[in-house]
Amino acid sequence: MGKDQIEEAKELKIEIKKLEPELEKAELEFQILFFQIPNLPLDDVPIGSNETSNKVIKIVGKAEKGLRDYLELAENLDIIDVKRAAKVSGARFGYLKRGLALLEFGLIQLALDILTKEGFIPVVPPVMIKPEMMKAMGYVERGGDEIYYLEKDNLYLIGTAEQALGPLHADETFEEKNLPKRYVAFSTCFRREAGSYGKDTKGILRVHQFDKVEMFSFCLPEKSREEHLFLLKMEEKLMQLLKIPYHMLQICTGDLGDSAAAKYDIEAWMPGQNEYRETHSTSNCTDFQARRLNVRYKTRDGKINFVHTLNGTAFAIGRTLIAIIENYQQKDGTIEVPKILRKYAGIKKIK
């Protein structure tokens, strides 16, 4: 290398060093904009601006009307105590007691029995995750006001086990033959319920802390629509085992979260409230989360692609218990236990 070339190289090195801060700034601006872009809805998702455009696609079971409200029944039986919970923790908390606590454990065991037989791997995940993991899952840019952030520890409390399951394989590459990889997780979940004050403030329907059993799947891109219907089928199976009336919704474009490309909800009929309330949700997030988390798979011919991720509720415990109380109430104020849960809970009736 000649003297002129050496000098030129030195000048280039100095110039590059000067430009590095500009590159870092541009990359940061790109990341900020990139993370604000939601997933693109699939072509068969109903078009609409809000939840009023969600489409009812199935109704199962007879919806009785005019029965007693769950909280009235539960307080008479001393199985839900929101007054003492308020004394201890404030609003939007509750103690589950006696037979209702046994029903929670029964629901968890029922879900595990059904789903492990389908190849789901049982997991108890961390309930606190790093900010970069929560951000990668698509829950910070919009909807971040619902999440509890522990500033001193720089950690988020999860609002669903999905948020801890997606990052489980961050920066990893699956072999194609090992997909789908399915997990079923039990966790306590935390939500601020920001903006919902004055709405469902009594009881345990809309609370800051609740337990949930969640399904999560990593699958091949060409199989994700099929996998989505499989998760929905599992949700229906669990509801039908409990024999609780429900309807199913296909969620419209305007009611999808940032990460979902398609979503179905199941809402249980609650005769004490004379309306359907959401108990289950399942979303196909395509490669939206996988790209942010760098979760990939290697094809049989050696190519590397991003996986698709999906999630689905097995049981949102609190709301499922409400549906059981209201649909299985007896004239004398007792609660019959669904037959499928009796072997798990060890009781036939709450009285």
Q: CA angle, 96 as apex, 71 and 337 as ends, to 5°?
A: 75
Q: Copy the structure tokens of residue 339.
A: 């037959």
User: What is the per-residue pLDDT across 115-172, written as a single tens digit (0 to 9) for each?
Assistant: 999 999 999 999 999 999 999 999 988 777 889 999 999 999 999 999 999 999 999 9
Q: What's 44-350's CATH class?
A: alpha beta
Active-site residue identified among 92, 182, 206, 296: 206
User: What pLDDT sits at residue 279?
Assistant: 98
Active-site residue identified among 187, 235, 319, 326: 319
Note if 192 is an active site residue: no
Q: Name the phi and psi angles at 130, rounded to 5.
A: -70, 150
Whole-angstrom CA distances from 297 to 183, 214, 291 are 17, 23, 12
User: What pLDDT sits at residue 194?
Assistant: 67
User: What pLDDT sits at residue 336?
Assistant: 98
Sorted by where each begins, the domain ranges of the chain are 1-34, 44-350
Note if 281 is an active site residue: yes
User: What pLDDT sits at residue 125?
Assistant: 98
User: What pLDDT sits at residue 28?
Assistant: 74
The runs of H, that is alpha helices, within the chain are 3-34, 70-77, 82-89, 98-116, 131-137, 162-165, 224-242, 288-293, 317-327, 339-345
Burial class of residue 216 (count of CB atoms within 10 Å of its CB; 0-12, 13-18, 19+): buried
Note if 206 is an active site residue: yes
User: What pLDDT sits at residue 20?
Assistant: 78
User: What pLDDT sits at residue 90?
Assistant: 94
User: What pLDDT sits at residue 180?
Assistant: 98
Listing DSSP states for 157-189 in one string gives EPSSTHHHHGGGGTT-EEEGGG--EEEEEEEEE
Strand partners, 209: 190
User: What pLDDT sits at residue 255?
Assistant: 95
Note if 75 is an active site residue: no
Contact status, residue 333 vs residue 321, Cβ threshold 8 Å: no
Q: Which residues of the chain have pLDDT under 70?
A: 1-6, 194-201
HSE, CB side, 13 Å, CA atoms: give it for residue 136: 24
Contact status, residue 342 vs residue 125, Cβ threshold 8 Å: no
Note if 278 is an active site residue: yes
Active-site residue identified among 187, 217, 259, 281: 281
User: What pLDDT sits at residue 210?
Assistant: 97
Active-site residue identified among 64, 193, 278, 336: 278
Q: Copy the structure tokens of residue 280.
A: 């289950």
Q: CA angle, 105 as apex, 104 and 107 as ends, to 5°?
A: 65
Tell me the three state secondary structure of residue 153.
coil
Active-site residue identified among 182, 191, 225, 292: 191
| pTM tops 0.85, yes or no | yes
